[in-house]
């Protein structure tokens, strides 16, 4: 028979880890976007001055 306690534990930990990875990726993308935006702003300020 299936040990439903262990199966539920594995399923929940897998779901939580997937969401944790997605959150980390989203934070990384946002930080990268902010860095690129700030570099682009610096470039436009240099060109305008």
Kindly indicate the confidence band of residue 46, based on its pLDDT and cuts at 50, 70 and 90: confident
Could you give the number of structural domains in the chain? 1
Domain-located, residue 48: yes
Kindly indicate the confidence band of residue 2, based on its pLDDT and cuts at 50, 70 and 90: confident
Domain containing 45: what range? 22-49
Element (H, E) at 11: helix 4-48
Burial 8-39 (b: 16+ CB within 10 A, else e): eeeeeeeeeeeeeeeeeeeeeeeeeeeeeeee
Domain-located, residue 40: yes
Kindly indicate the confidence band of residue 40, based on its pLDDT and cuts at 50, 70 and 90: very high
Domain-located, residue 26: yes
Domain-located, residue 36: yes
Q: Does residue 49 or residue 32 have the better pLDDT?
A: 32
Domain-located, residue 33: yes
pLDDT number for residue 11: 98
């Amino acid at each position: 028979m299936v040990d439903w306690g262990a199966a539920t534990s594995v399923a929940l930990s897998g779901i939580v880890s997937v969401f944790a990875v997605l959150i980390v990726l989203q934070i990384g993308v946002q930080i990268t976007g902010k860095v690129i935006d700030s570099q682009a702003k610096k470039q436009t300020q240099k060109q305008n001055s």
